[in-house]
Chains A and B, each alone.
Chain A
Amino acid sequence: MRNLIDILDLDVREIDALIKRANDIIERPDAYREICRYKKLATLFFEPSTRTRLSFEAAMLELGGQVLGFSEAASYSSAKGESVSDTVRVVSCYADVIAMRHPKEGAPLVASMAASVPIINAGDGGHNHPTQTLTDLLTISREKGRLDHLTVGLCGDLKFGRTVHSLISALSRYEGVRFVLISPEELRLPDYIKQDILEEKGLKYLETESLEQVMPELDILYMTRVQRERFFNEEDYLRLRDSYILTPDKLTTAKSDLSVMHPLPRVNEISTAVDADPRACYFRQALNGKYIRMALILALLGL
């Protein structure tokens, strides 16, 4: 493994190895405290994403390494018109691995072609965000003990939600995964994903507008935010918004071992009253994000 640009850069075996390593880090944190001593991670964030950046930085610091970088393009020379390729060529001289967030789709791929150190895509516009998907896979694996034979409900904005698209791509490689796609008509999963991934691989899926109706069958419920700006009119938004808010009430028919996930940040799509429910695992998911990034950094550094 040289770079991580797209989750599909990793085969199932490599993903399993990362999950295994992350679990080992969780169990034996002391064994990893100094492993990246004298190594540096550069976080090049051409657009702000505090949560992802902190997760990467915390990951490197916990491995005993150091971090440098910038958190918005205005503070770096790209504001003066420098190309992505030139930027990463320069940063390759100062760091051992680079995590890059960029508003333009494909920028991390361009970076990987020019850099002499590994590039991690930390999100490129609405395109890819592979470390979020790795976070989700580690979470599912830890919560359920497996990544196969699961009924996975994806709820909310399935049209624009890149985390949902990547998660479907990644999970579609495991046996017996069934998807339940819960969204308003306006925000359904795009046809090309249904055709190229689900139908191509002969995977079972169900589309519905009602969360309540399918709740009892779900092993995983992956919530996403229904954003006001995605709707043509306020009336539709207000009508649909509440049907995709998860409340303790709606969870009464769910399985006792359901796992409720969310990539965060949450706005109002999961009521805070759900947080105390042991089935809510979105904060554990955020913690897992740090561990899987630690495993990824180690893999890319060959440690």
Chain B
Amino acid sequence: MHIDEIQNGIVLDHITAGKAMEIYHFLELDGRDCPVAILQNVGSRKMGRKDIIKIDAPIDTDLNVLAVLCPGITVNVIRDGVRVEKKALTLPPEVKDVIKCKNPRCITTTEQELPHIFRLTGAKTPVYRCIYCETKA
């Protein structure tokens, strides 16, 4: 299978196998008119299997959120066909409507217009907790 190299855009690598479509929808790539390649179940020495997304256009979304959706993901910035930057993602202190609270007793389950907000907590291991019920993400 041959996929053309992208010229100006980003390559999202080391996506957990099976998660590419979730990231595709989160970045609303279906609404863009640039070339996008989704590779699923690609062999990886480190991960066994992984997904990759190549986007042939610059993206102005805050990509740090991707580290929440898919820990371990890497972002490569491509310019003129060459990788010019490997972005290190840092977990944002707060995320809104990125993850949903799974606690059935949380107020967000009955009041569906409430934003799902999670805050980063934990001194040793970073953990996102729902601001309403404090349940772990």
Chain A interface (Cβ < 8 Å from any Cβ of B): 83-85, 102-107, 109-110, 124-127, 195-196, 200
Cβ of B45 within 8 Å of any chain A Cβ, yes or no, is no
- In the complex, besides A104-B110, A105-B106, A110-B107, 14 extra interface pairs with C-beta distance below 8 angstroms are A83-B113, A84-B107, A84-B111, A104-B107, A105-B103, A105-B134, A106-B108, A109-B131, A110-B114, A124-B107, A127-B134, A195-B124, A196-B123, A200-B123
Tally of contacts, chain A with chain B, CB under 8 A:
48
Q: Which of A83, A109, A126, A195 is in CB contact (< 8 Å) with B132?
A: A109
Cβ of B25 within 8 Å of any chain A Cβ, yes or no, is no
**Are A106 and B131 touching (Cβ within 8 A)?**
yes
Residues of the A chain whose Cβ atoms lie less than 8 Å from the Cβ of B130: 106
Chain B interface (Cβ < 8 Å from any Cβ of A): 103, 105-111, 113-114, 122-124, 130-135
Most chain A beta-carbon contacts within 10 A, residue among B103, B113, B130: B103
A290 to B106, CA, bound (A): 29
Residues of the B chain whose Cβ atoms lie less than 8 Å from the Cβ of A83: 111, 113
- Of chain A, the residue at the smallest CB distance from B111 is A83
- Of chain A, the residue at the smallest CB distance from B136 is A192
A277 to B15, CA, bound (A): 64
**Are A110 and B132 touching (Cβ within 8 A)?**
yes
Q: Which of B108, B109, B110, B133 is in CB contact (< 8 Å) with A127?
A: B133
29 A-B contact pairs sorted by A residue (CB < 8 Å) = A84-B111, A85-B111, A102-B107, A103-B105, A104-B105, A104-B106, A104-B107, A104-B110, A105-B103, A105-B106, A105-B132, A105-B134, A105-B135, A106-B106, A106-B107, A106-B131, A106-B132, A107-B107, A107-B132, A109-B132, A110-B111, A124-B107, A125-B105, A125-B133, A126-B105, A127-B133, A195-B124, A196-B122, A196-B123
**Are A104 and B122 touching (Cβ within 8 A)?**
no
Residues of the A chain whose Cβ atoms lie less than 8 Å from the Cβ of B133: 105-106, 125, 127
Please give me the 3 A-B residue pairs with the lowest Cβ-Cβ distance, nearest first: A106-B132, A105-B133, A104-B107
Residues of the B chain whose Cβ atoms lie less than 8 Å from the Cβ of A196: 122-123
Most chain B beta-carbon contacts within 10 A, residue among A102, A103, A104, A107: A104
A290 to B11, CA, bound (A): 61
A210 to B105, CA, bound (A): 33
Residues of the B chain whose Cβ atoms lie less than 8 Å from the Cβ of A85: 111
CB distance from A254 to the nearest CB of B (A): 35
CB distance from B88 to the nearest CB of A (A): 27
A110 to B130, CA, bound (A): 12
Given A109-B131, A110-B132, A104 contacting B113 (CB threshold 8 A):
no
CB distance from B68 to the nearest CB of A (A): 19
A270 to B116, CA, bound (A): 42
A138 to B78, CA, bound (A): 62
- Of chain B, the residue at the smallest CB distance from A81 is B110
- Of chain B, the residue at the smallest CB distance from A78 is B110
Most chain B beta-carbon contacts within 10 A, residue among A83, A84, A105: A105
CB distance from B116 to the nearest CB of A (A): 11
A110 to B131, CA, bound (A): 10
A104 to B124, CA, bound (A): 29
Given A127-B133, A196-B122, A200-B123, A105 contacting B105 (CB threshold 8 A):
yes
Residues of the A chain whose Cβ atoms lie less than 8 Å from the Cβ of B134: 105, 127
- Of chain B, the residue at the smallest CB distance from A104 is B107
A85 to B135, CA, bound (A): 21
Given A110-B114, A196-B122, A104 contacting B109 (CB threshold 8 A):
yes
